[in-house]
Amino acid sequence: DSGVTQTPKHLITATGQRVTLRCSPRSGDLSVYWYQQSLDQGLQFLIQYYNGEERAKGNILERFSAQQFPDLHSELNLSSLELGDSALYFCASSVVDRGNTEAFFGQGTRLTVV
Amino acid sequence: DQQVKQNSPSLSVQEGRISILNCDYTNSMFDYFLWYKKYPAEGPTFLISISSIKDKNEDGRFTVFLNKSAKHLSLHIVPSQPGDSAVYFCAAIPLNRDDKIIFGKGTRLHILP
């Protein structure tokens, strides 16, 4: 158990809909990262928050947005969903803002868009 | 534009032998490298890391080697065990520390009995 909690574990929704994925980081971790893993793809970095502020942005679509709340949990919002958005979405957290540290991953949310 | 490349999608190794997983990177600004292991239906778990000031880091059966001039790193697992069957991701963090941990596409390791 990494200490990072993601809900829900599975999500099935229709095209055009909007969903929210939730992540609770490990206790004490201030950084939260979101990654997308599609079939045959590695972990694509989407976005990172540190202590409530956006810190780094990757290949995140404009239809996607995220935020980190004062209690440090984070939500990833996916809207106008398309079939190609079906993927595993992972959240990770780490303790420091910058430095030689690894991130700890949650078990992921499997999103299926039908 | 794949900055971290794992060119072998899969690898099969006999139990007890050495497993060598390779990773190449293109960005010379990367200065910290990590390996993650992932089982099906689980999130990736951190395995071992290496800073660019080193060329080797060892942790039990796992050793990571870094060749900066070739922009290449490798993970050695000796001896390989059945529980090592998983997908292994190579990852890198850039010097400017903007916290993007960039991952490769992964290599699926099969340990054969």
pLDDT tens for B15-51 read: 999 999 999 999 888 888 999 999 987 889 999 999 9
pLDDT tens for B54-82 read: 999 999 999 999 999 999 999 999 999 99
Closest residue, chain B, to A41 (C-alpha): B105
**Residue B103 Cα distances to A43, A64, B79, angstroms:** 6, 20, 25
Q: Both tokens of residue B74?
A: 């490798």
Alpha-carbon span A95 to A102, nearest angstrom: 9
How many Å lie between the alpha carbon of A97 and the closest alpha carbon of chain B? 7
Percent of chain A with pLDDT over 70: 94
Asked if the C-beta of B102 comes within 8 angstroms of chain A's C-beta atoms, the answer is: yes
Model confidence at B1, in pLDDT bands (50, 70, 90)?
A: low
Closest residue, chain B, to A50 (C-alpha): B99
The average pLDDT across A48-60 equals 89
Q: Which candidate, A35, A36, A9, A24, places its Cα nearest to that of A110?
A: A9
Closest residue, chain B, to A46 (C-alpha): B100
Secondary structure of residue B109 in the 3-state scheme:
strand
Q: Is the pLDDT of residue A56 over 90?
A: no
Q: Both tokens of residue A9?
A: 């574990």
How many Å lie between the alpha carbon of B68 and the closest alpha carbon of chain A? 17
CB pair distance less than 8 Å for A35 and B46 = no
